[in-house]
Amino acid sequence: MKNITKLGLTALAGSLVASSAFAGAMSVSGSAKITHAAQDETEVTGNSFSNSKGLSFSGSGELDNGYTVSTTYSMTNSAFSSSQVTIDMGDTGTVGLWNGANGAGINKVSDVVPTAGEQVWDDSDTDDNGVPTHDNKNMIGYNGTLAGFGVSLAYVNGGASGAGGAASDSSWAVSYDGLMDGLTLGFAQGENGATQDLATLYATYTAGSITVGYQISDIDNTGTTADEETNHIGASIAVNENLSVSAGRHEVDMGAGKVDEESTGFSASYTMGSTTVGFVANSTENVAGTAGSDDSYREIAVSFAF
């Protein structure tokens, strides 16, 4: 009887171990960043040094039909940053729900111009003018490949806030990389609620260690002449396996009665194992289309990944 009981308990323990293997696993990663930032001399910024911390929880598991379910939850400085749950269906594509992450639709390709650090329009003013995005709070989406084309769809039920108001947000994007080696072409359209129509067209080309990109975008504000039309060009170079540099220019036609907003920037990053040293120098002229309103931003940061 004791032997039978022992055998039964051993079999039960073995089955639990096997089941836990199929249930998947969770992991935790983190980061720490020390930053020195300098803004325009007309701005009062106080202490130029700061630090930030990040935590990311991720996990995945395989279903009985072979699909893979994955989830992530990220925090920055102990506050919620983004989360997602996706189901990878193999050749059929991936469906998911993203919260605070631009995982699908036009948001995913709103700016694909290559950079070694930050986009040239980032941080130098308070508004990311000319960048076509809609709400990404609890955004349902799909990513897949159909007939050689990359396809991405996004939908936000009822929107949440911002220019789109309470109306639903939606968008789609297609890309194609079969024309020639290294070349990717893409186009996307969307609606930010009932007040904005969004569109973008882009091309990126990689040859060896050099990647160049060109993107034009349009934000049509319903009922006004304050539409935004964007031209963005940039290039990045992987100098070696550790060092990358980039430069770009982002110009936004802010509509009738305003002058063009022009942003230029340079970024560099150097990676040594889990440590990355980054430099960003961005400047914007005629912020939000106001002549003579200029801004600039300089940053040196050291990041550690754990």
Please give the pLDDT value at position 164: 46
Please give the pLDDT value at position 248: 97
Terminal C-alpha separation, the chain = 51
d(CA 224, CA 228): 11
Residue spans of the chain under pLDDT 50:
1-22, 161-164
Please give the pLDDT value at position 194: 87
Q: What is the pLDDT of residues 242-283, one digit of tens each?
A: 999 999 999 999 988 899 999 999 999 999 999 999 999 999
Please give the pLDDT value at position 128: 78
Structural contact between residues 278 and 268, judged by C-beta atoms closer than 8 angstroms? yes
Please give the pLDDT value at position 255: 87
Among residues 138, 121, 57, 160, the alpha carbon closest in space to that of 251 is found at 121
Which two tokens mark 301?
């940061």
Please give the pLDDT value at position 43: 67
d(CA 176, CA 161): 33
Distance of CA 201 to the CA centre of its chain: 17
d(CA 263, CA 122): 9
Helix, strand, or coil here: 297? strand
Q: Domains in the chain, ordered, with CATH?
A: 24-305 (2.40.160.10)
Please give the pLDDT value at position 226: 83
Q: What global pTM score does this model have?
A: 0.85
